[in-house]
């Protein structure tokens, strides 16, 4: 007859199962759980099996309110655990390691068991000290975000990594991200979510459910556990810690994206974010604003320095001294896509998008996201193509502001591809010369296509995987984006910590930002206007190692070429063209008359070196 290990009353303040002095602490909140006969059992399993080793009743003295807690004097490496009442298994929402989900897209059979978590201060003290020393903080105005899916970023064979689809695989692509100029990576859900979706009963299958992949992970989940299917080894926690440390060594940040289901308690959310901040050293969180508000996070002292990306401005308390919360600007995508395809009347909106950057409400701008057409697809299709999702193309938004320029989908026609690539450069120019924080969705920098699918939530395949062969096929796009990021970083006036004022409030010789039309200082806002220019006065970005060149950008989305009379701030002003997005026809500038000619459907950037 087996003998249960001895237990003592545990600590209810630390939920889940974690190593503590002298053993392992187990704690679970029983609020809302029906306990048969009022009994709850802790079940121990032999490590990596479902063989029951012990079953221990939580006696009444183990309860603090609704939280049951006990401490066992056991060796944590020998056991997994679970909870039961009667013959029902109870989910541990605070589980920090979940067994049986090691393979992505494979159904789990049998009871779910949980691993015992080893907090970082019980691990390698020297290694953890180095991890803590490596933490970084990049101001919002310096941030360049790259949003990726852990699996999709390296799963394609073209990624060239040894550990595809994993945290380790991301480590192996750090050179790629660093070369591009990225300093902040945002991970789509990387915690333990169910990667299969039930979609109905299979006919004549004796009640079996049909399933398809839940590739994205925007569902309820085990929010405290790194996803085991995203780990190349048995210890997902350690691999995730190592990945974050490798980012920090390169002065790059890691942002975790969380989708909390409606009804999730504030206490649970705060516990979760604290856990990832302390245990894994993540630098911030992207949160769904229908459940979480920035004010909830701002109230917590432990989270006082982490970044918060959110789509709801309620409770934002940014200040000049502590500017860490940013709002997603979903309208930016729509404005840019409509503007570059020549729709009239968007001058004023794009002009505002270039400047939008308040101290209290800094914005995150993007050209594409996980639930939109990719940048390449937005210039390759006239409509979404979500047929592969199995919903008769009824899912996903139909409002995509896209245009295929003469051919639906991929084509070898050079004239069509030239226009598409030019439009992609037009879009990235606006994104990276805007004051808001730029976010690039993984693969857009190399022209990745999802085959017109703007909602590939279930596409665990080449539709979603980043194909690095595109970097060769679309090398001009990659080099352009890389150069634009470098240009942005080297000119502080393009990414200020506050909103530009449209005035020379410091008497430096010109307004910090100004707008122009074909004539200097006279921008056209009419309904038929689709060309204008913006000038940034470089001295407003003065500082150590900052380039203070003046920058003039002409946008001409009309079909015909336009002539811009460029402002002369002094008699010695000498502008020069840095680049044009139309590399065939090119923009031309006449120094004597200070006239810039910009081909239709293109943009030109000029600088005055100071």
Residue ranges of E strands in 422-490:
437-441
Which of 206, 208, 230, 98 has its CA nearest to residue 154?
230
What are the φ/ψ torsions at residue 533 (nearest 5 degrees)? -135, 155
Confidence grade of residue 508 (pLDDT, cut at 50, 70, 90) = very high
> Which pLDDT score, from 0 to 100, does residue 1 have?
41
**Tokens 């990745």 found at:** 448
Gap between the Cα atoms of 60 and 19, Å rounded: 23
Confidence grade of residue 599 (pLDDT, cut at 50, 70, 90) = very high
User: Which of left, alpha, beta for 401 (phi over 0: left; psi -120 to 50: alpha)?
Assistant: left
> Which pLDDT score, from 0 to 100, does residue 312 have?
86
> Which pLDDT score, from 0 to 100, does residue 192 have?
97
Contacts of 406 (CB under 8 A, 6+ apart): 413, 415, 416, 419
Gap between the Cα atoms of 487 and 182, Å rounded: 13
More confident residue, 543 or 482: 482
Contacts of 475 (CB under 8 A, 6+ apart): none
* Encoded tokens for 174: 């750090």
Query: Do the bridges between strand 196-201 and strand 88-90 make them parallel or antiparallel, or are there none, so unpaired?
Result: unpaired
Answer whether 294's CB lies under 8 Å from 336's CB.
no
Which of 433, 447, 470 has its CA nearest to residue 375?
447
Mean residue pLDDT across the chain: 93
C-alpha separations of 177 from 172, 195, 449, 463, 478 in Å: 10, 27, 19, 21, 12
> Which pLDDT score, from 0 to 100, does residue 200 have?
66
Q: Taking the CA of residue 40 as centre, how many other CA atoms within 13 Å lie in the half-sphere pointing to its CB?
A: 25
* Encoded tokens for 249: 């060594």
Answer whether 93's CB lies under 8 Å from 222's CB.
yes
Q: DSSP per residue over 250-280, as a string?
A: TT-EEEEEE-PPTT--HHHHHHHHHHHHHHH
Q: Is the pLDDT of residue 519 over 50?
A: yes
Residue ranges of E strands in 173-250:
184-187, 191-193, 196-201, 209-213, 221-226
Q: Taking the CA of residue 1 as centre, how many other CA atoms within 13 Å lie in the half-sphere pointing to its CB?
A: 0
> Which pLDDT score, from 0 to 100, does residue 76 have?
86
> Which pLDDT score, from 0 to 100, does residue 38 have?
92
**Tokens 């994104």 found at:** 431
Helix (H) or strand (E) holding 37: none
Cβ atoms < 10 Å from Cβ of 589:
19
Q: What is the pTM of this model?
A: 0.95
* Encoded tokens for 519: 């004539």
- Tell me the three state secondary structure of residue 435: coil
* Encoded tokens for 537: 């006065």
Cα torsion 521, 524, 530, 534 to 10°: value is: 20
Answer whether 533's CB lies under 8 Å from 551's CB.
no
Q: Is the pLDDT of residue 127 over 80?
A: no
What are the φ/ψ torsions at residue 98 (nearest 5 degrees)? -120, 130
Read off the pLDDT of each residue in 477-493 and give the average, rounded to a whole number.
Answer: 97
Q: Is the pLDDT of residue 126 over 80?
A: no
> Which pLDDT score, from 0 to 100, does residue 202 have?
52
* Encoded tokens for 542: 């003065």
Query: Do the bridges between strand 63-64 and strand 588-590 make them parallel or antiparallel, or are there none, so unpaired?
Result: unpaired
> Which pLDDT score, from 0 to 100, does residue 77 have?
86
Q: Is the pLDDT of residue 124 over 70?
A: no
What are the φ/ψ torsions at residue 450 (nearest 5 degrees)? -100, 25
More confident residue, 528 or 128: 528
> Which pLDDT score, from 0 to 100, does residue 107 have?
87
Return contacts of 566-569, CB within 8 angstroms, 24+ apart. 566/516, 566/520, 566/533, 566/594, 566/595, 566/596, 566/606, 567/514, 567/516, 567/520, 567/521, 567/535, 567/594, 568/594, 569/509, 569/510, 569/537, 569/608
Q: Is the pLDDT of residue 283 over 90?
A: yes
Gap between the Cα atoms of 335 and 588, Å rounded: 27
439-448 burial, b at 16+ Cβ within 10 Å, e below that, comes to bbbbbbbbbb
* Encoded tokens for 26: 């187990």
Query: Do the bridges between strand 253-258 and strand 284-287 make them parallel or antiparallel, or are there none, so unpaired?
Result: parallel
DSSP code of 594?
T
DSSP code of 522?
B
The string of pLDDT tens digits covering residues 9-27 is 999 999 999 999 889 999 9
Cα torsion 104, 110, 111, 114 to 10°: value is: -40
Answer whether 189's CB lies under 8 Å from 214's CB.
no
The string of pLDDT tens digits covering residues 190-248 is 999 999 988 765 554 555 667 899 999 999 999 999 999 999 999 999 999 999 999 99
Gap between the Cα atoms of 295 and 287, Å rounded: 12
Helices (H) and strands (E) in the chain, counts: 13, 30
Alpha-helical (H) ranges within 250-372 are 266-280, 294-298, 330-340, 347-355
Read off the pLDDT of each residue in 151-161 and give the average, rounded to a whole number.
Answer: 98
More confident residue, 572 or 186: 186
* Domains in the chain with CATH codes: 7-118 (2.60.40.10), 138-192+221-324 (3.20.20.80), 329-490 (3.20.20.80), 513-608 (2.60.40.1180)
> Which pLDDT score, from 0 to 100, does residue 138 have?
96
Answer whether 96's CB lies under 8 Å from 115's CB.
yes
Q: Is the pLDDT of residue 167 over 80?
A: yes
Cα torsion 7, 13, 14, 19 to 10°: value is: -40
Contacts of 143 (CB under 8 A, 6+ apart): 183, 184, 253, 307, 437
DSSP code of 201?
E
Which of 354, 356, 425 has its CA nearest to residue 603?
425
Question: In percent, how much of the chain has pLDDT > 90?
Answer: 82
- Tell me the three state secondary structure of residue 596: strand
Gap between the Cα atoms of 392 and 70, Å rounded: 52
Q: DSSP per residue over 73-90, as a string?
A: ---GGGEEEEEEETTEEE
> Which pLDDT score, from 0 to 100, does residue 108 have?
80
């Amino acid at each position: 007859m087996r003998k249960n290990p001895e237990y003592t009353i545990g600590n209810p303040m630390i939920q889940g199962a974690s190593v503590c002095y002298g053993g392992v602490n187990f704690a679970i909140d029983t609020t809302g759980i029906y306990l048969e006969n009022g009994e709850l059992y802790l079940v121990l399993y032999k490590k990596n099996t479902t063989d029951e080793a012990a079953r221990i009743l939580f006696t009444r003295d183990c309860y603090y309110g609704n939280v049951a807690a006990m401490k066992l004097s056991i060796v944590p490496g020998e056991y997994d655990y679970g909870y039961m009442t009667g013959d029902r298994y109870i989910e541990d929402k605070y589980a920090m390691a979940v067994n049986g989900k090691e393979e992505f897209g494979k159904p789990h059979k049998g009871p779910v068991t949980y691993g015992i978590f080893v907090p970082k201060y019980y691990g390698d003290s020297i290694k953890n000290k180095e991890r803590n020393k490596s933490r970084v903080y990049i101001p919002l105005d310096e941030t360049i975000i790259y949003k990726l899916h852990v699996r999709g970023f390296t799963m394609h064979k073209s990624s060239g990594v040894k550990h595809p689809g994993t945290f380790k695989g991301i480590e192996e692509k750090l050179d790629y991200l660093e070369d591009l100029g990225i300093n902040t990576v945002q991970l789509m859900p990387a915690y333990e979510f169910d990667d299969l979706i039930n979609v109905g009963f299979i006919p004549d299958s004796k009640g079996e459910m049909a399933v398809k992949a839940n590739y994205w992970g925007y569902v309820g989940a085990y929010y405290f556990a790194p996803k085991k299917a995203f780990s190349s080894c048995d210890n997902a926690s350690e691999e995730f810690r190592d990945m974050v440390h490798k980012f920090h060594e390169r002065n790059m940040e890691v942002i975790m994206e969380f989708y909390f289901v409606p009804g999730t308690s504030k206490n649970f959310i705060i516990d979760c974010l604290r856990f990832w901040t302390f245990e894994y050293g993540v630098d911030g969180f992207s949160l769904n604003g229908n459940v979480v508000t920035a004010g909830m996070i701002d109230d917590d002292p432990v989270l006082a320095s982490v970044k918060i990306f959110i789509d709801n401005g309620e409770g934002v308390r940014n200040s000049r001294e502590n500017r860490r919360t940013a709002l997603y600007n979903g309208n930016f995508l729509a404005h840019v896509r409509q503007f570059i395809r020549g729709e009239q009347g968007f001058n004023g909106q794009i002009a505002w998008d270039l400047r939008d950057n308040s101290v209290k409400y800094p914005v995150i701008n993007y050209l594409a996201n996980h639930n939109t057409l990719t940048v390449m697809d937005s210039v390759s299709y006239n409509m979404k193509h979500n047929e592969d999702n199995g919903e008769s193309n009824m899912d996903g938004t139909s409002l995509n502001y896209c245009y295929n320029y003469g051919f639906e989908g991929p084509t070898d026609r050079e004239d069509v591809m030239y226009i598409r690539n030019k439009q992609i450069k037009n879009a990235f120019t606006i994104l990276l010369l805007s004051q808001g924080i730029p976010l690039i969705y993984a693969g857009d920098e190399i022209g990745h296509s999802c085959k017109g699918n703007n909602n590939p939530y279930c596409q665990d395949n080449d539709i979603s995987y980043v194909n690095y062969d595109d970097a060769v096929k679309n090398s001009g796009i990659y080099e352009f984006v890389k150069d634009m990021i470098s240009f942005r970083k080297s000119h502080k006036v393009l990414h200020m910590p506050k909103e530009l004022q449209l005035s020379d409030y410091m008497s430096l010789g010109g307004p910090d930002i100004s707008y122009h039309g074909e004539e200097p200082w006279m921008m056209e806002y009419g309904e038929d206007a689709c060309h204008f220019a913006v000038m940034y006065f470089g001295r407003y970005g003065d500082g150590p190692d900052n380039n203070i060149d003046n920058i003039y950008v002409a946008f001409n989305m009309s079909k015909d070429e336009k002539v811009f009379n460029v402002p002369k701030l002094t008699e010695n002003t000498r502008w020069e063209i840095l680049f044009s997005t139309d590399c065939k026809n090119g923009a031309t500038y006449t120094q004597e008359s200070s006239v810039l000619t910009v081909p239709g459907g293109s943009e030109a950037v000029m600088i005055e070196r100071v």
